[in-house]
Structure 1
C-alpha cells in the first residue's frame, strides 16, 4: 500500500476505534446548527476551513453522505491521474505521498496548512452545503462536480451505513432513523436543505451536476461527460479502464485495501430502488411532500427524476 493510501486508511481506522469507546450520545457535536461526527471532525477544523485558500485549478466533488462520493472519487482520481501522466513526465500529483484525507472538512485543523504544499491539481471531496465552504472556492471559480441521488435510496443507504459504522449513532429501527433523517438530526444536516441550497449554484459554469442514477445507468457516457467538464482527454481504452476500475464489484473487492475497516460498510449493494424494501406508505407521503416543498420544479429537482425513481 502506498503511503498516501495508508495515511487515508489510518485516519479512518483511528476514528472508528475512538468512536467505539464513546457512548451513543457523545458521538456527534453541533456546529452552526448542524451535526458532525466527533472523532473525524472538530470545531477547530471548521474554523480553520473558513480561511482555506483554494486554487483555480482545484477539483472539488460535492455530495451529501451516501450519494456515491466514494464511487465518484475513484472515477475522478483515475481521470486526474491519466491527465497528470500526460502532462507531468509520467508522474501523478494525485498520489503524492503527503496526500491529505480527501474530505475537506475531515481531519485536524492544521491540514490546510499542509495542503498548501500539495502540487496542482488538488482533488477534494466535501459533504458541506455551499455556504459552509470557504469563500475562496467560489471566488476562484473552482470546478465543482455536484453529485446528487434520489432521496429515498440515499436515506436507505444512510440507515444501513449508520448501523454499520461506529463513528455514527446506530438505530434500533428504520422508523427511528427515518424520523431523524426528516428532522435534521443526522450528520451533515438535512438532505432537502442541501439540495435546495446547491440548486442556487446549478447554473454556474464551473458547476456540473450528475446523478447517481444516470451514472449507474450509463457509466461510459457519465465518465465521458465528467472528463469533458474537467478538460481531460481520454482514449477509448483509458475510458474503459476507468469504468472497469470504478465498477461496484471492483471497488467492493478492493475495499479493504482502499478504505480499511470502512470498506466493509461502504460497499453494501450499490443498487437503485432499494428503498422499496423499507418505506411505509406514510413515509413515502412525507418524503414526497418534503421533496416538493424544497426542490419541486427546480433544476436539481428535475434532474433527479423523482417521478421515475421515487414513486411507489
Structure 2
C-alpha cells in the first residue's frame, strides 16, 4: 500500500503517498494510482514546444504559471483553469495529451522523477525559488488548509517535520542544490531562474525577462497589463474557486492565495526556531551559490 501517515510530535497525522521512499501529496486520489503515475513520469512523452514550470511547493507556482500563460496567449486575460490541471504528478498522461500546445506544465517533483525528455531535448524550463522561511510558513497553512492531507497540527510540530524532511517532496535544501548542480554542469540547457522575492520587487522587469526566455516580444502595454492582472489582490479575486468547490477541498476559509508577501515568517518563527533553521540554512549556503532574500 502506498498511502502513509506521517505523525508529528503532537500526534497529528499528515496523509501522504510513498513512492519508493519519496513522498508526494495524494491529491484525493487512490494512493497506489498516484504512486504509479509518478513512477511512470520519467518515460512520459513531451512535445518540443512544452514549457516546464518547476518549483518546490509554495514558491509562487500559481503566480508564475498565470504570468507565463498570459505571455504565451498574448493577452492579459485570466486563465480559465487552475495550474493543477497542468500538473504532472496530478494528472494522467491521457488527460494532459488533450491539452493544446504550447502546454505550460508544472511540477514540484525533484529532478530524478521528471520526464527524461526534458533533459535529453533541453526543453524550455522555468525554475522558481523562494526563501525557505516564508516557504515553510506557507506550506504549513497549505497542509492544514487542504483536506486531502488530513492534518490539524501546530506550527511548531510542522516546523520539525519540514526540517526533518518528512513532508511531501522531501528536502527543500536538496531540491535547490540538485538544480544548482544541474545548471552548472549543463550550460547548454538554459534554465530560466526566477526568485519569488525579485518578482515582488521588480515585477515588470521580471516579466520582460521571462518573455525574452520564451522567445516572445510583448508590447510594453501588454507587460504592464499582465503585471497588473497578476497582482495578488486580482489573482485572489479572479482565481478563487466557487464556494461549492472550496467546501469540498479546503478546510474553513483557506485559500491558495493567503498573503503573497515577503517576510511573513517573522510573524511565526520564534527566536529558537530561527536559530535552529539558520543552522540548516548556513550549512546549505556553504555549498550552494544561490542566495535568498528573507525580507
Match of 1:240 among 212, 224, 239: 224
Match of 1:63 among 31, 55, 62: 55
Greater CA deviation, 162-171 or 220-229?
162-171
Match of 2:264 among 271, 274, 285: 274
Structure with the bigger percentage of helix: 1
Q: CA deviation at 1:26?
A: 7.3
The 8 Å contact of residues 220 and 243 in structure 1, kept in 2 or not, is answered as yes
Partner deviation per Cα, 1:118-164 (whole Å, 9 max, x = no partner):
44311101101111111111001011110000010001111111111
The 8 Å contact of residues 41 and 113 in structure 2, kept in 1 or not, is answered as no
Partner deviation per Cα, 1:70-112 (whole Å, 9 max, x = no partner):
11111011011118x9xxxxxx9x87x9x982111113xxx21
Match of 1:145 among 126, 129, 134: 126
Match of 1:43 among 35, 58, 61: 35
Say which SS state the counterpart of residue 148 (structure 2) adopts: coil
Match of 1:79 among 51, 65, 71: 71
Greater CA deviation, 67-76 or 171-180?
171-180
Q: CA deviation at 1:117?
A: 4.8
TM-score (norm 1): 0.79
Q: CA deviation at 1:298?
A: 2.3
Alignment RMSD:
2.6
Partners of 1:102 and 1:195 in 2: CA distance: 22
The 1:274–1:295 alpha-carbon spacing in structure 2 relative to 1, beyond 3 Å, is same
Say which SS state the counterpart of residue 101 (structure 1) adopts: helix
Q: Which residue of 2 aligns with 1:217?
A: 201
The 1:253–1:52 alpha-carbon spacing in structure 2 relative to 1, beyond 3 Å, is same
Partners of 2:256 and 2:84 in 1: CA distance: 20
Partners of 1:32 and 1:196 in 2: CA distance: 21
Partners of 2:99 and 2:258 in 1: CA distance: 33
Q: Which residue of 1 aligns with 2:175?
A: 194
The 8 Å contact of residues 130 and 196 in structure 2, kept in 1 or not, is answered as yes
Q: CA deviation at 1:294?
A: 2.6
The 8 Å contact of residues 60 and 125 in structure 1, kept in 2 or not, is answered as yes
Paired residue total: 269
Match of 1:249 among 204, 224, 233: 233
Say which SS state the counterpart of residue 267 (structure 1) adopts: coil
Structure 2 stretches of 5 or more lacking a match?
1-11
Q: CA deviation at 1:242?
A: 0.8
Greater CA deviation, 48-57 or 242-251?
48-57
Say which SS state the counterpart of residue 182 (structure 2) adopts: coil
Structure 1 stretches of 5 or more lacking a match?
1-23, 86-91
Partners of 2:18 and 2:194 in 1: CA distance: 30
Say which SS state the counterpart of residue 50 (structure 1) adopts: helix
